[in-house]
Structure 1
Amino acid sequence: MLSINDIKKPIAADIDVFEERFKASMQSSVPLLDRITHYIVKRKGKQIRPMFVFFSAGICGNISDATHRGAALVELLHTASLVHDDVVDNSYQRRGFFSINALWKNKIAVLVGDFLLSKGLLLSVEHNDFALLKIVSEAVRQMSEGELLQIEKVRRMDIGEEVYYEVIRQKTASLIASCCACGASSAGADAGTVEKMRLFGEKVGIAFQIKDDMFDFGTDDVGKPVGIDIKEKKVTLPLIYALNNCDSAEKKKMINLVKNHNDDPEKIAAIVAFVNQRGGLQYAESQMKKYQDEAFSILHTFPDNDSRRGLEQLVRFTTERKK
């Protein structure tokens, strides 16, 4: 599989410009904010979401200044959501580094997330990018609703496949969908094409999240079950399938184990083993592949060019990764 640096080569210059503009978009007159945003920028991820924006613009026309603003808007929103998520989840690490709430406490983390979101909104309003603002605002709404839906269902352990797909469509897929729609819109695509790219991104996002959920039922570097979602009592597709394919007594036993594992490594290992024995991972893999294929079917309606090939490679990178 190609590395992320190989995939981004056709848009490397645009990514470099984006990173400079993204940094500038986070500037503030408050020294504390500048320290925190500098910390965030230094620990940036792979820039996968801006890549979706740029390649989507390239497949629909040309990359423009509006494309750069769309990429910055999406990345500001994404960064704000991660800062807020760490507060919601009481998480003190992000990509192997301390989270904002771990270093500066929850109150400051919430305000930093609000600041980043407001910078994105202002960036759009100041340049009259109302179409992009509408696309991304819709993603913010869906992400919030998806998070609340998951919290409600997890509390009651009331989640089937239909609810699971609705949660990940809103929580994860809506953001990748907004990346692709923003890219298309910034290139001047018509409403039908923007919607087609949005749907492509949604299917990629669902496949991405299914793949992510599968990692929870593997092992870490020293062979221990990962079980992070299990520890948080999140019910994901591999577990849902396993619970739906066992007798009622075993189902009741496993639900009680998920509810009351108390972070006991042996109980978590038992849940992971149950999911593997009942074919949960194989089923999730088949569903991930289904959504990936549906995404490719949409993508292949566009003419073949560097951007289409870039998107195809990016989809494979996000859905076929090993960790």
Structure 2
Amino acid sequence: MLKLDEIKKPIEKEIDAFEEKFKTSMQSSVPLLDRITHYIVKRKGKQIRPMFVFFAANVCGGITESTYRGAALVELLHTATLVHDDVVDNSFERRGFFSVNALWKNKIAVLVGDYLLAKGLQLSVNNQEFTILKIVSDAVQQMSEGELLQVEKVRRMDISEDVYYEVIRQKTASLIASCCAAGAASAGATEETIQQMHTFGEKIGIAFQIKDDLFDFGVDDVGKPKGIDIKEKKVTLPLIYALNKAEKTEKKRIINLVKNHNDDPDKINTIINFVRNSGGLAYAEQQMMNYQEEAFKILAQFPASESLTGLENLVRFTTERKK
């Protein structure tokens, strides 16, 4: 399997420089804020989104100072949404560590999220990055709409495949699409090329989310079925497919279990086995690969380069990753 450190090598210096600039962009005159943002930076994720920004910029003309600001804007707004999400979900863990709201309570977490949003806006306006600001702001709007659409539909358990794709397009894919479009814009690409990169990122974002759906039907570190999405009553692609293939009585029984499992391991296992036995996992995996293939077709329209290969490898990583 491809390793992220190997994929990153063509842009490693740029990513290292970006991390320093990103830390600077979060600085404040309030000691409490600095403690919290330092805590957030120390527990950063895989840096996949900045990598999409930098690879896309290189493919579309070359990395500029604008690229660093675009990547910082994406990360600031993305981090803000994660901090707010943990408050909304009442989650006390993020990437294996305590979440901001777990350590500093909800009120401070919400204010920190607001601060990060404001810093992103300030960074863009001060440097007149209006095109990139519009690209990323549109994504944040779509992410909020996607979350609310999911809440509305999950309550009624009436999510079709079409609605599922609309939810994940807004909720997950819009941010990766904005990374690729922002990277292209930062390199001075044409509107047509920026849109190409946006479409490419959207397809990868959908594939990325389907991969997350599939993880839920695997096992955790001690060999127990995960079922986290099921516990949270989230309707994923494998489950949608399985329900659509089931007879009316069985479908009603499984929907009732999803709604009323009360974290009972036996009920959750019943749902997981129902999905596995229905072919739901194989179907979701095929859909994921279809989106990956569509993304590759878009990349094939660009000239061969080290960064294009890096972007292709990053695409493969999203569908081959183990977690």
With the shorter chain as reference, the TM-score category is over 0.9
Q: TM-score, normalised by structure 2?
A: 0.99
Aligned to 1:7: 7
Q: Distance in 2 between matches of 1:223 and 1:41?
A: 31
Aligned to 1:94: 94
Shift of 1:319: 1.3
Equivalenced residue count is 323
1:85 to 2:102 alignment: no
Instruction: State the distance in 1 between where 2:222 and 2:16 align.
Output: 37
Quick one: percent identity of the two aligned structures? Answer: 76
1:171 matched residue in structure 2: 171
The superposition leaves residues 223-259 of structure 1 with CA deviations (integer Å, 9 ceiling, x where unpaired) of 2110000000000000000000010000000000000
Task: Tell me the distance in 1 between the aligned counterparts of 2:81 and 2:296.
Answer: 28
Who is 1:230 aligned against? Answer: 230
- C-alpha offsets along residues 90-137 of structure 1, whole Å, 9 cap, x if unaligned? 111000000001001111111101100110110000000000000001
Q: Which digits, 9 at most, give the CA deviation of each residue in 1:262-317, with x for residues without a partner?
A: 00001000000000000110000000000000000001110010111010000111
Q: 2:221 is matched by which residue type in structure 1?
A: D
| Corresponding residue SS for 1:32 | helix
Distance 2:158 2:100 in 1: 32
Residue type at the aligned position of 1:171: K
Q: How does 1:140-159 map to 2 (within 5 A)?
A: 140-159=140-159
Q: Distance in 2 between matches of 1:46 and 1:73?
A: 17
What is the alpha-carbon distance in structure 1 between the residues aligned to residue 138 and residue 10 of structure 2? 30
- Give the equivalent residue in structure 2 for 1:136: 136
Q: Residue type matched to 1:190 in 2?
A: T
Task: Kindly provide the amino acid, as one letter, of the partner of residue 90 in structure 1.
Answer: N
Is there any run of 5+ residues in structure 2 with no aligned partner, and where?
none
Shift of 1:88: 1.0
The alpha carbon displacement at 1:219 in A equals 1.2
Instruction: For residue 36 of structure 1, report the CA deviation from its aligned partner.
Output: 0.2
Matches within 5 A, 1:252-271: 252-271=252-271
SS of the residue 1:8 aligns to:
helix
What's the offset of the Cα at 1:156? 1.2
Distance (whole Å) between structure 2 residues aligned to residue 221 and residue 57 of structure 1: 38
Q: How does 1:143-292 map to 2 (within 5 A)?
A: 143-292=143-292
Q: CA deviation at 1:43?
A: 0.4
What SS does structure 1 have at the residue aligned with 2:309? helix
- Aligned mates of 1:319, 1:174 — CA distance in 2: 17
Structure 1 runs of 4+ off > 2 angstroms?
none
* C-alpha distance after superposition, 1:39-72 (max 9, x if no partner): 0010011111000000000000010000000000
Deviation of residue 2 (structure 1)? 2.3
Shifted more, 120-129 versus 215-224: the winner is: 215-224
Q: Deviations over 1:186-239 (max 9, x none)?
A: 000000000000000000000000000111111112221100000000000000
Structure 1 segment 27-38 matched on structure 2, within 5 A: 27-38=27-38
Q: What is the distance in 2 between the residues matched to 1:73 and 1:9?
A: 23
Distance (Å, rounded) in 1 between the aligned partners of 2:46 and 2:247: 43
Output the amino acid matched with 1:185.
A
RMSD: 0.6
Supply the distance in 2 between the matched residues of 1:120 and 1:158 (Cα, whole angstroms): 37
- Write the letter of the residue equivalent to 2:178: S
Tell me the SS of whatever aligns to 1:203: helix
| Structure 1: distance between partners of 2:225 and 2:268 | 7
For residue 83 of structure 1, report the CA deviation from its aligned partner.
0.5
Please give the residue correspondences for 1:30-69 in structure 2 after superposition, counting only pairs within 5 Å: 30-69=30-69
Residue 302 (1) aligns with residue 302 (2): yes
Output the CA distance in 1 between the equivalents of 2:43 and 2:221: 23
